[in-house]
Amino acid sequence: MPKHPDPHAPSDSDLILNTLREQGFPPLESADIPELRLLVGRLRQAQGPPEPVARVVGTFVPGPAGMLPVRVYQPEPRPGPRPLLVFFHGGGWAAGDVDLVDRPLRRLANATGAVVASAGYRLAPETQFPGQQQDAYAALCALAARAAELGADPGHVIVGGESAGANLAAAACRAAVDEGGPRPALQILICPPLAPARDTPYASYHEKAVGHLNTRAAMERFWELYVPDPHAARNPLAAPLLAEDFSGLPPALVLTAEHDPLRDEAEEYARRLERDGVPAVVSRIPGALHIFFLLPHLAGFGTALRDIEHAVRTHGPTAPRGREGAPS
């Protein structure tokens, strides 16, 4: 007889929240910067063992203020050329590193067959906008130029990210359009913050303001750490949702979590893309928290992985631009 789930059993999200409460995990909005970085680092302990990939390569690419670390995941070869997926980690622009997404990206490389390049960037408050955005665009340009060296198709570049890294991925796509840089075939945005949190009009910021790990207060704090100047915070390179025109941007897969303050603004970004003729798909992960992509053993991650695999297959190489732009 098939087994049916117990409707009274706690969900994955309930289990995570209960575990964090038992561990005394403090609210993200109240942690100082060293504690915040330790707390984000602790998430790695819940990710399980690393899935083997054919090869992992550490390298660096030049950024506007120094070299940026990159970890490259090469899956077992498959017939035909492989896409290059440039990925940026999350952490509120103030925490996280390439280690934070090591286990999720191993699984992503194996599932999609893409060469995945995980790029680091400078963190707030030591660095603020536009520093992180410039680092992300520099990494995209440099890695696209090295695609063949890394075992990937130079004409099939994808950019993606999780949380703050998804904001940087979207901003890198806009910078590429504005500056004539590499043409991503696809942008993969996982729980992206795309507009300032303070005075936001989106309902999920009120419905999910507290009680689901990522809170409205935490997002207000992260935005202030990243872009303390309210005028600069309205720049589309800081807040991609506030652009007037979305035409010319790459097609998008936008993955959102049901229990996330950022859910509605991320889904609105997909609607703005479609309004301006850019294909966009939204996948809302039911029952998920903001951090679902960092927990590969949960059902939400598996759902997201299938969606990403399909999107990567669907969006093939793009025609080259006149020049591979470099950051100015």
* Beta-carbon contacts of residue 261 (< 8 Å; ≥ 6 apart): 197, 204, 205, 208, 209, 212, 214, 215, 216, 219, 290
Contact 254, 280 (CB under 8 A): yes
Give the integer Cα–Cα distance in Å for 25 and 162: 21
How many other C-beta atoms lie within 10 A of the C-beta of residue 296? Answer: 23
Give the integer Cα–Cα distance in Å for 137 and 50: 28
β-sheet with 186-190: strand ranges across:
55-63, 66-74, 115-119, 84-88, 157-162, 186-190, 252-259, 280-289
Give the integer Cα–Cα distance in Å for 58 and 240: 30
In three-state secondary structure terms, 130 is: coil
* Beta-carbon contacts of residue 55 (< 8 Å; ≥ 6 apart): 73, 74
Residue in the block written with tokens 């950022």: 262
Residue in the block written with tokens 């999350």: 90
| Distance (Å) of CA 26 to CA 20, 29, 38, 96, 257 | 8, 9, 11, 17, 21
Just list the catalytic residues. 163, 260, 290
